[in-house]
Every structure is written in C-alpha cells, then in structure tokens.
Amino acid sequence: IFDALALQPADPLLSVIGAFRADPRPNKIDVGVGVFRTETGETPVFRAMKTAERRLLETQDTKAYLGPEGDIGFFQALRPVVFGAADPGERVFGLQTPGGTGALRLAAELIAQARPGARVFLGTPTWPNHPPILKKTGLEQVAYRHFDAETQAVCFDDVVAALESAGAGDVALLQVCCHNPTGADFTVEQWHEIARILGRRGVLPLLDLAYQGLAEGLDADAAGVRIVLDQVPAALIAYSCDKNFGLYRERTGALFGIAASGERARIAHSNVLALARAAWSMPPDHGAAAARIILVSPELSADWRAELAEMRDRIVSMRELLGTIDPAFAPLARQHGMFSTLPLSPEQVRRLREEFAVYMPNSGRINIAGLTRGNVEAFVRAVKSVL
C-alpha cells in the first residue's frame, strides 16, 4: 500500500533544528524555530511551572481519562487571562486542545462542518503551518498582503480591502499579538477598524493567540480579542500555552468559541467535543494540569507573570540593541514578540548558514530570542555581509 506514497519534503522550519545541532562550529547562532531563550541560550522550565509540576506529582492520585474536553479547570482558569472583564459568559464554549495547532485544526473543522463553503481570509506571510491546517479541512483560502518586508510594517490598506471583500459567513484568520513571522502587529486603532468591518460584514474572526504576554503584557496583548468581541456575535480563539507557559513539548492549548447565545454555544460545544473525540479522543493532561495549578494559585500566578515580564523585557531589549548596533534594524524595535522577517533571499539565508553558521528558515524569519549580548554584533555583521 505504501508504494503509492510520494516522498514529502521535511518541514522547512523544523529541519533547521537538526541542521543547527549537527553544526560543530562553536560560535553558531540559532535564530530558527520559535522557542524563547535566555541570555545564556537556555529554554528553562518556568520557576512557577517547576513548583506546579511538583505539586501535581504529589497530589495527582489517578491518570484515569478526563474526557474530550480535557482539564475543565484549566479551561475555566484561562478565561480571565484571555477575556479580562469582557468574558461573554454563557456564550463561551470550548475545550483544552493539544497545543494551539490542535485548537486551529478543530476550529477549522468546526467551520467546515457548519459552513463548508466558507472562505478563510489570511494575511501573508503567515505561520507556515496555517495554510496546511486549513487545507486539511477543505476550506477555501484567500490570501492577502499583511506585511511589507522593505518598510517592515503592516500593509493595513491591503488588510482593510481584503476584509471588506469578505462576505457573511466567511472567516478572517488573524494573529492577535507577536505576529509570526513578522512581529508586525495591529495597533489598537487598527483593531477597532477591523472589528467594525468584521461586525458589519458578518465575517467570523478566527483569532490565533499563541504569544499572549510576550508583546506588551497579558492584558495589552489580548486587546485585539476584547475589541473584536465587542463588535461580533460569534468568534473562535485558538490559544497556545507553548510560549507563555514554556510548555512547548507538552502540547497545551485551548479552543474558545463565542456563540450568539447560550443555546447556540451549547450546540457548538457538542460539535467540538465530537470532533475532538474523532481526532485525538482526549488531549494530553500534564501541561494543562500544571498550568491550572499556576492559574488558580495567586502566589504561583504572580511568579509566572513576573517571569513572563522578564522574558518580554529581554526580547524588547534585544530588539532595541539591534537598532543601536545598526540603524537598518531600527524598525524591528517597533515590532513585537520573538519574530521578525528580514528581506533575505533563500540564497542569502544559505550563505548565512554556510559561511557564518547563522541558522534561520529560508523565509528570512529570525527568532529574536536566539540573540544575546554576546552574539548580536556577529549576527548583524553576518547579515550585513550577505545583503
């Protein structure tokens, strides 16, 4: 049976991990895959997470199944972090998912089930896994320009034109903060305009919230969610705890849905449960259980928020330092989160890898958290020599 299969290319982003590891050069620089790193190059487990995991180990007395919704306490404890004072109450439905990817896939399946002809509008460039996830569910994709690499800014006129061309029942996939791969986020004013268009045209927002807390702060980073929810009757939010809880390999996320009424939410909820059951039956428990322990403990929550602020400060200071070393990098200080996309060709990316041991995907995306005070000048010199 497998004779019929064609060889698939390795994932271009994940293959950077292996290529970097195999390089013996001591001064190699990894600005590839999106994991946070400290000034000394580590991706540590959060202090609060270590304590929560210890508590979990001591108190968990069974590994029996929870059900397709996963850890309900985790889902509920995350609600105030996402919605703040704007929680839509009984109109909210959803469940714990295996990472933000699981949430996105389930969201796309729910949309395809509810409205098979829906088109999904997505700005480019985007996270390279967005299009394949949507493709699996057969939804039509409409791409528009989100970002101009030369000016390093959002092409807001293109965003508005695309959303104005969407019809009732179409979907807009929007990244809420720390845009992957460009770092170019919408301003609060732009979110208000987007929200008005979505509301007026009856477009369903599918909001990808994968980096809450890494741009300006937990509340500020959720502004897009809260502004949009003020204008639309229904929405979906794909949430990832990979970065802001440092849970990467534990695959911890959630799908939040908001329906027009409590009754509609109840029906939509039964649909996501059935879809999850058929996809993965139940999500992995550990990461969500430990995140719940943090979220319900005022003391652990405070420490988690403090460590998140330290991470955010480090990213901001590296962005500022890049601009200080070379003014050509100054626009990166206006961007948010771990990623920026430099105007580099695949050939220039190859030269950076081969001649300077600087690793990034062919798209020219860099992970700012891969830079340190010790390597940033060498990084800038390397980029300047291939440009």
| Active centre residues (catalytic) | 127, 208, 210, 243
280 — phi, psi (to 5°)? Answer: -140, 5
**Bridge partners for 205 per DSSP:** 172
DSSP 3-state of 52: helix
CB of 263 to ligand LMR, least distance (A): 36
171 — phi, psi (to 5°)? Answer: -130, 140
- Residue 14 or 260 with smaller CB distance to ligand LMR: 14
CB of 339 to ligand LMR, least distance (A): 7
- Residue 51 or 335 with smaller CB distance to ligand LMR: 335
Single out the residue of 51, 96, 126, 180 in contact with ligand LMR (rule: CB under 6 A): 180
CB of 255 to ligand LMR, least distance (A): 17
Single out the residue of 20, 30, 31, 34 in contact with ligand LMR (rule: CB under 6 A): 34
Single out the residue of 113, 129, 231, 317 in contact with ligand LMR (rule: CB under 6 A): 129
CB of 198 to ligand LMR, least distance (A): 25
**Bridge partners for 121 per DSSP:** 142, 172
Is the backbone peptide bond immediately before 284 cis, with ω within 30 degrees of 0?
A: no
**Which strand ranges, in their side-by-side order, compose the sheet holding 171-175?**
92-97, 253-258, 235-240, 204-209, 171-175, 119-124, 140-145
How far is Cα 252 from Cα 262, in angstroms, rounded to an integer? 26
CB of 207 to ligand LMR, least distance (A): 16
- Residue 35 or 290 with smaller CB distance to ligand LMR: 35
CB-nearest residue to ligand LMR: 34
Can residue 127 be called a binding residue for ligand LMR (CB under 6 A)?
A: yes
19 — phi, psi (to 5°)? Answer: -65, -40
- Please report the beta strands in the chain, taking only residues with DSSP state E, as ranges in sequence order: 29-30, 92-97, 119-124, 140-145, 147-148, 153-154, 171-175, 204-209, 235-240, 253-258, 339-341, 358-359, 365-367
Can residue 33 be called a binding residue for ligand LMR (CB under 6 A)?
A: yes
- Residue 45 or 330 with smaller CB distance to ligand LMR: 45
Binding residues for ligand LMR, per CB under 6 A?
13, 33-34, 127, 129, 180
